[in-house]
Amino acid sequence: MSSVIASSEVVGHAGPGEQERGQRAVFCGLTSIIWLHRRIQDAFFLVVGSRTCAHLIQSAAGVMIFAEPRFATAILQERDLAGMADCNEELERVVAELLGRRSGIKRLFLVGSCPSEVIKLDLETAAAKLQAKHDNRVRISAFSGSGIETTFTQGEDQCLQSTVKDLPVLAEGARNLVVVGTVSDIVEDQFRRIFSDLGVEDVHFYPGRRAQELAPIGPGTQLIAAQPFVGETVRALQARGASLISAPFPLGAEGSRGWFEAIGDAWGIDSDTVARVLELPYQRSKRAVAAQFDKLSGRAVHFLPDSQLEIPMARFLTEECGVAIKEIGTPYHDALMMSGELSRLHPDIKIVEGQDLDPALERVRSNRPDLTICGMGIANALEAEGLRTKWSIELVFSPVQGFDQAGDLAALFAKPLVREAVLEVGSWS
Ligand code: SF4
């Protein structure tokens, strides 16, 4: 079923009604290096992989030839893959060379790939040995960016999880707030201003801009997620005593207000203060979304499974933009991370978890939505069939969280529809 659903009708969604398993068409976790290396400005990502991995990262990140990139690929050669060379020795040499040349590196990530997993290269043990060797100079950890059975945003979850062990212990009786999941610097600054107006103190962003910005964790830590794909990191932090605040994601005016209200509630701030602080940014944000409403209202949108942002984005589109959702495909459903979202989603919206490319494309063809949100690899094929698309990866790369970005978020969805209208007018003139 797809219809325009007013938020007042919402009674909550139970989660995916169907699961699919089959052919997948998504980027691998290495892709997350693109936004992570921009966020953690003194981190270096050393992929241990093949030439394919190197090409993926270089073309996706669009490296400028004058810039010194903070990622590289240690290419596994045939001798490595055949088990004829000692990969650990080679890795030690590459890391020593890298750290000798680049004194600004404060955190080194060894990033596993499909080839390193296939030959069972134990990068975690390698990272621990290298850490002991280069102690006090740089922190070293390992995570997998392999595309085997994962989607690209899981790369961030794996990356953050690999650093949980380095976070200090929060002093007994103290409390702090940790925002989990990458946000852009501008979004962090905006959030910090609102936290300060609310009186929420000792706020940490994880990951922070610098590798040394390590949030202390303990029973006094409250976690709030800024991204939906950091579930394993959240669980690792919960295992250290932290508790998760259930909230919608800060997407759109309503999502952002719900996010800050949940924090205010958990922090024990009286509701009048919260309402007073949020009123102006909320109203500004509503006006910015309203400017895009006519372009989106009554349109039908179909989400193919890709980024794990599908459910919160669909909630934003139905709650604030008058969009009808044909189907939400999500690669993985994490009930812990989605609890604050599902309660705001109409129960009749179809959610399918997992991926099976051909039947999913058949449903898009039969639904003929106005817009399909999908991976880059699928977009061209659908465009060739006259279907408008939006790359879901853009929603991860762009700063879309918070009140001040709500209008831009609506505009991201409206843009392909406006472009189509312009092309149609142009073709008749
Ligand atoms: S990690 Fe795997 S999926 Fe990703 S680029 Fe390398 S080989 Fe390809």
Digit-coded pLDDT (tens) for 194-224: 999 999 999 999 999 999 999 999 999 999 9
Instruction: Clarify whether residues 189 and 133 are in a common domain.
Output: no
Q: Return the higher-pLDDT residue of 162 and 66.
A: 162
Q: Is the pLDDT of residue 332 over 80?
A: yes
Nearby residues of 207 by Cβ (< 8 Å), 6 or more positions away? 36, 39, 40, 159, 160, 163, 182, 213
Compute the distance from residue 113 Cα to the ligand 1 centre, in Å.
Answer: 6
Question: Domain boundary residue among 217, 241, 272?
Answer: 272
Q: Which range has the worst mean pLDDT, 136-140, 182-186, 213-217, 224-228?
A: 136-140
Classify residue 209 by burial, with Cβ atoms within 10 Å: 0-12, 13-18, 19+: middle
Residue 86 included in any domain: yes
Query: Residue for token digits 């604050």?
Result: 340
Instruction: Clarify whether residues 294 and 415 are in a common domain.
Output: yes
Is residue 330 a contact partner of residue 310, using CB atoms and an 8 Å limit?
A: yes
Which CATH number covers residue 186?
A: 3.40.50.1980
- Mutation test of ligand 1: which of 110, 144, 146 has the most ligand atoms closer than 8 Å to its C-beta? 146
Residue 284 included in any domain: no
Instruction: Clarify whether residues 264 and 186 are in a common domain.
Output: yes
Amino acid 69: pLDDT: 83
C-alpha to C-alpha distance for 167 and 156, rounded to whole angstroms:
17
Q: What is the DSSP letter of 22?
A: S
Domain hosting 129: range is: 29-150
Q: What is the DSSP letter of 278?
A: H
Instruction: Clarify whether residues 234 and 309 are in a common domain.
Output: no
Classify residue 153 by burial, with Cβ atoms within 10 Å: 0-12, 13-18, 19+: buried
Tell how strand 176-180 and strand 324-330 pair up.
Answer: unpaired
Q: Is the pLDDT of residue 79 over 80?
A: no
Instruction: Clarify whether residues 17 and 60 are in a common domain.
Output: no
Instruction: Clarify whether residues 255 and 358 are in a common domain.
Output: no
Which residue puts its alpha carbon closest to atom 2 of ligand 1?
Answer: 114
Name which of 397, 317, 328 is nearest 152 in CA terms.
397
Question: Domain boundary residue among 272, 303, 327?
Answer: 272
Q: Is 113 in the pocket of ligand 1 (CB under 6 A)?
A: yes
Instruction: Clarify whether residues 206 and 321 are in a common domain.
Output: no
Residue 156 included in any domain: no
Instruction: Clarify whether residues 53 and 95 are in a common domain.
Output: yes
Which residue puts its alpha carbon closest to atom 5 of ligand 1?
Answer: 53
Compute the distance from residue 50 Cα to the ligand 1 centre, in Å.
Answer: 8
Instruction: Clarify whether residues 259 and 337 are in a common domain.
Output: no
Question: Domain boundary residue among 272, 305, 340?
Answer: 272
Tell me how many domains the chain contains.
3
Compute the distance from residue 120 Cα to the ligand 1 centre, in Å.
Answer: 15
Work out the average pLDDT over 176-186: 97
Q: Which range has the worst mean pLDDT, 7-11, 83-87, 145-149?
A: 7-11
Q: Is 262 in the pocket of ligand 1 (CB under 6 A)?
A: no
C-alpha to C-alpha distance for 156 and 322, rounded to whole angstroms:
32
C-alpha to C-alpha distance for 340 and 12, rounded to whole angstroms:
10
**What backbone phi and psi angles, to 5 degrees, belong to 127?**
-65, -40
DSSP bridge pairs for 424: none
Amino acid 83: pLDDT: 67
Q: Is 30 in the pocket of ligand 1 (CB under 6 A)?
A: yes
Instruction: Clarify whether residues 256 and 345 are in a common domain.
Output: no
Q: Is 28 in the pocket of ligand 1 (CB under 6 A)?
A: yes
Outline where 268-405 has alpha helix (H): 271-296, 310-321, 335-342, 357-367, 376-384, 393-397
Residue 336 included in any domain: yes
Q: Which range has the worst mean pLDDT, 60-69, 145-154, 309-318?
A: 60-69
Compute the distance from residue 267 Cα to the ligand 1 centre, in Å.
Answer: 42
Which pLDDT band, with edges at 50, 70 and 90, does 426 fall under?
low
SS3 306: coil
Query: 220-240: per-residue pLDDT in tens?
Result: 999 999 999 999 999 999 999
Work out the average pLDDT over 37-54: 94
Residue 95 included in any domain: yes
Name which of 151, 150, 156 is nearest 35 in CA terms.
156
C-alpha to C-alpha distance for 243 and 370, rounded to whole angstroms:
40
Instruction: Clarify whether residues 53 and 14 are in a common domain.
Output: no
C-alpha to C-alpha distance for 296 and 290, rounded to whole angstroms:
10
Amino acid 7: pLDDT: 47
Residue 155 included in any domain: no
- Mutation test of ligand 1: which of 114, 123, 151 has the most ligand atoms closer than 8 Å to its C-beta? 114
Name which of 117, 102, 91, 97 is nearest 28 in CA terms.
117
Residue 144 included in any domain: yes
Q: Is 155 in the pocket of ligand 1 (CB under 6 A)?
A: no
- Mutation test of ligand 1: which of 24, 27, 30 has the most ligand atoms closer than 8 Å to its C-beta? 30
Q: Determine which helix (DSSP H) or strand (DSSP E) holds 36, and give its type and residue range.
A: helix 32-39
DSSP 136-174: TT-EEEEEE---TT--TTHHHHHHHHTTGGGSPBPPTT-
Q: What is the DSSP letter of 179?
A: E
Nearby residues of 177 by Cβ (< 8 Å), 6 or more positions away? 195, 200, 202, 203, 204, 221, 222, 223, 224, 263, 267
Is residue 242 a contact partner of residue 218, using CB atoms and an 8 Å limit?
A: yes
Instruction: Clarify whether residues 199 and 100 are in a common domain.
Output: no
Q: Is the pLDDT of residue 244 over 70?
A: yes
Name which of 264, 257, 312 is nearest 280 in CA terms.
257
As a whole number of Å, the CA-based R_g of the chain is 22
- Token pair listed for 400: 């879309």
Sheet order of strands, 43-49 included: 71-75, 43-49, 107-112, 139-144
Which residue puts its alpha carbon closest to atom 8 of ligand 1?
Answer: 53
Residue 167 included in any domain: no
Compute the distance from residue 110 Cα to the ligand 1 centre, in Å.
Answer: 15
